[in-house]
């Protein structure tokens, strides 16, 4: 005989949660571009207001002429193993010509196999989910880039103080 | 695992209230689940719920928001309008499926 428990309704949180997350993306390597976007996407899916600030090498992720060509190099990464084993790949081989291209291709395939989108597509999804993209003033000036060089959904080029001001009370991640 | 009464039927759920048996779900139950989380069902909502049910039957796991867009054809933006704040979890709940496992 089964006993009926009282109704159980999941707690999806209050509609007006003021939780806010700020993510600073400072890296332009393909492998380091993903963590920030995965977390941003997850936060948006949890109803958390999310702002992303692209600075230094992370600027490549929103620069139209570069965003489709992020690369991954195994050089200096001692956690690289031969596929499917625990054996380390010798670091001395890593700077060899063509190694970055091979590693990039492999990583892109692994990511695509999980149905995770490429960086530009991923940012499309983040913006569609309500995420805000901001570009760093100093990085723009160093690279001589303006708003017309960036994705259309970048909301502006702002300085560090502006970003700190607009993320008051937010949790912050630097990647 | 608790058994609770939904729409006059005895239904198995987990500790959060998500249905645990695929075949115990029906549209009457979905209506009650939707009402409990303040979602007013329209054709657009049903379209997604039906996609999730079918997709789960084929794939054995709950589609993520990404998959509802790429395979189900409903843009992420629209999912957020139909199921505000937490679309992936709300859609799964109403469809009587587990929360999606994938990160993206």
Q: Which domain does A169 fall in, by range?
A: 20-72+95-174
Q: Do B3 and A116 touch (CB under 8 A)?
A: no
Q: What is the pLDDT of residue A16?
A: 66
Closest by CA position to A133, among listed A119, A144, A143? A119
Chain B (6-35) residues lying within 8 Å, Cβ to Cβ, of chain A: 6, 10, 13, 15-18
| pLDDT band per the 50, 70, 90 thresholds, residue A173 | very high
How large is the ipTM? 0.87
How do beta strands B9-12 and A132-136 pair?
unpaired
Q: What is the pLDDT of residue A11?
A: 84
Supply the DSSP string of A116-143, one letter for each residue.
PPPHHHHHHHHHHTT-EEEEEHHHHHHT
| pLDDT band per the 50, 70, 90 thresholds, residue A2 | low
Q: What is the pLDDT of residue A84?
A: 81
**Mind listing the pLDDT tens digit for each residue in B18-42?**
999 999 999 999 999 999 999 999 9
| pLDDT band per the 50, 70, 90 thresholds, residue A3 | low
CATH label of the domain that carries residue A151: 3.40.1260.10
Q: Is the residue at A148 inside a domain? A: yes
Q: Kindly state the average pLDDT of the residues B62-77.
A: 95
A5 interaction partners in chain B (CB closer than 8 Å):
2-4
B29 interaction partners in chain A (CB closer than 8 Å):
none
Q: Do A3 and B17 touch (CB under 8 A)?
A: no
Mean pLDDT value across chain A? 91
Q: Do A115 and B76 touch (CB under 8 A)?
A: no
Q: Do B102 and A114 touch (CB under 8 A)?
A: yes
Q: How far is A168 from chain B (nearest CA, A)?
A: 21
Residue B99 known to be catalytic: no
Q: Kindly state the average pLDDT of the residues B80-86.
A: 94
Q: Is the residue at A99 inside a domain? A: yes
pTM given for the model: 0.89
B33 near A8, Cβ under 8 Å? no
What total of structural domains would you count in chain A?
Answer: 1
Q: Kindly state the average pLDDT of the residues A163-173.
A: 94
Q: Is the residue at A116 inside a domain? A: yes
Q: Is the residue at A132 inside a domain? A: yes
């Amino acid at each position: 005989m089964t006993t009926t428990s009282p109704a159980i309704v999941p707690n999806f949180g209050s509609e007006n949660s003021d939780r806010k997350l700020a993510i600073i993306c400072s890296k332009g390597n393909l492998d380091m571009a993903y963590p920030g976007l995965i977390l941003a996407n997850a936060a948006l899916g949890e109803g958390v207001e999310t702002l992303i600030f692209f600075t230094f090498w992370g600027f490549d992720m929103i620069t139209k002429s570069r965003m489709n060509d992020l690369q991954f190099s195994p050089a200096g990464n001692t956690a690289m193993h031969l596929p499917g084993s625990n054996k380390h790949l010798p670091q001395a081989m890593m700077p060899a010509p063509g190694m970055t291209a091979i590693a990039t291709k492999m990583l892109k395939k692994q990511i695509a196999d999980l149905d995770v989108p490429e960086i530009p597509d991923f940012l499309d999804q983040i913006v569609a989910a309500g995420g805000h993209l901001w570009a760093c003033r100093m990085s723009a000036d160093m690279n001589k880039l303006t708003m017309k060089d960036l994705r259309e959904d970048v909301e502006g080029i702002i300085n560090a103080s502006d970003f700190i001001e607009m993320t008051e009370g937010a949790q912050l991640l630097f990647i | 695992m608790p058994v609770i009464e939904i729409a006059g039927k005895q239904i198995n759920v987990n500790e959060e209230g998500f249905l645990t048996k695929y075949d115990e779900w029906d549209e009457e139950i979905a209506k009650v689940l939707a009402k409990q989380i303040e979602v007013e069902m329209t054709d657009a909502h049903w379209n997604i719920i039906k996609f999730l049910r079918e997709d789960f039957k084929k794939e054995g796991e709950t589609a993520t928001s990404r998959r509802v867009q790429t395979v189900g054809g409903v843009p992420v933006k629209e999912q957020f309008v139909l199921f505000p704040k937490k679309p992936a979890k709300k859609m799964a709940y109403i469809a009587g499926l587990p929360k999606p496992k994938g990160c993206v």
